[in-house]
A and B are shown apart, each in its own frame.
Chain A
Amino acid sequence: MNTQFAIFVFLALATLIGAASVALSRNIFWSAMGLLSCLVGVGGLYVMLSADFVAITQLLVYIGGVLVLILFAIMLTSQIQEISVSNRSVGLVGGYLIFFVVSTLLSFVALWAPWRLTSKEPVANTTVALGDGLLGTWLLPFEIASVLLVATLVGAIVIARKEVKSDS
């Protein structure tokens, strides 16, 4: 129990400090590195909740894919030469307002929501259960997900092509 609690505190701190540095860092590259710490921490929390497949997907898709995409986007940005002033923290007041509203809401939910405790054992191998669900009950959303991925790819190609043409 105590080791588990210590690991939880470590992961929660990595998540929170990472998330804070995404918002507060003046250097957009360090923001991306903060996002890495945040995503790894969230992945660890998934492991602690016995969501093994979600944790691996977090590692594979968010850390291996989305974070790489964000780093690409940073390096494709035109003003990357002035890397130290790339985040001027505009809209500080609005940012703090959103922060206080959302954090108050989340605290209320965490403290007063009727969390149901179950005595059931957690699912040992969530991947099989997920495969059953994805190709059984939720077959249509599974197929629609592929259409969504195609739309993403086509959209990215169309936007990037337009950019290349207007450049030349």
Chain B
Amino acid sequence: MPSDYIAVTLVILVGTVVALQFWALAKFVGERRPSAAKDIAYEAGSDPVGDPRGRFPVRFYPLAILFVVFDIEAAFLYPWAVDFRELSCAGPLRAGICATGISLLGFGAALAFLVVLLVALVYAWRKGVIGWE
């Protein structure tokens, strides 16, 4: 149980250390010659337009909701995908082999779930949430 997460913890630790190490190297070892051109927000050379703390258009909000809705959809589909072989077999699986007939229950249930959300996507599309004129 918790020992299964040693690898995950190591990845998080190494990721943090590598990021901090590059930051520290740049901060303490790197040479700095600041200039007015380097101090602007975009070093690509284009001048920033407007205030970054300004109000964003409300049109971003349905887009954010759209993202959260399909994020939750993905979370729901994950256990279905992991369990798909068992759900597609009419009887019990024996050593990964389905001796009985195929059941469409698992596929159909997820399809119904997806179709309902597809309706929402079509609605959002037709209301112009995805496009930008």
Contacts and interface: CB of A to CB of B under 8 A. Distances in A.
Interface of A: 4, 7, 47-48, 50, 53, 56-57, 60-61, 64-66, 68-69, 72-73, 75-78, 80-81, 83, 122, 125, 127-128, 130-132, 134-135, 139, 142-143, 145-147, 149-150, 152-154, 156-157, 160-161, 163-164, 167
Tell me what chain B mostly uses at the interface: helix, strand, loop, or mixed. helix
Assign chain B's interface to a size class.
35 or more
Given A75-B56, A134-B76, 10 more contacts: A4-B2, A61-B75, A65-B71, A72-B60, A73-B61, A131-B79, A131-B86, A153-B69, A153-B120, A160-B58
B59 A77 contact: no
Interface string B91-133: 0000000000000011001101110110110011001010000
Given A150-B117, A152-B69, A47 B79 contact: no
Contacts of B32: none
B22 interface: no
Contact of B80 (A60, A69, A135): A135
A60 B71 contact: yes
Which of B61, B81, B127 has most chain A Cβ within 10 Å?
A: B61
A143 to B, nearest CB: 6
Nearest to B117: A146
Contacts of A130: 79
Contacts of B69: 149, 152-153
Contact of A157 (B67, B106, B123): B123
A131 B124 CA distance: 29
Contacts of B33: none
B26 to A, nearest CB: 23
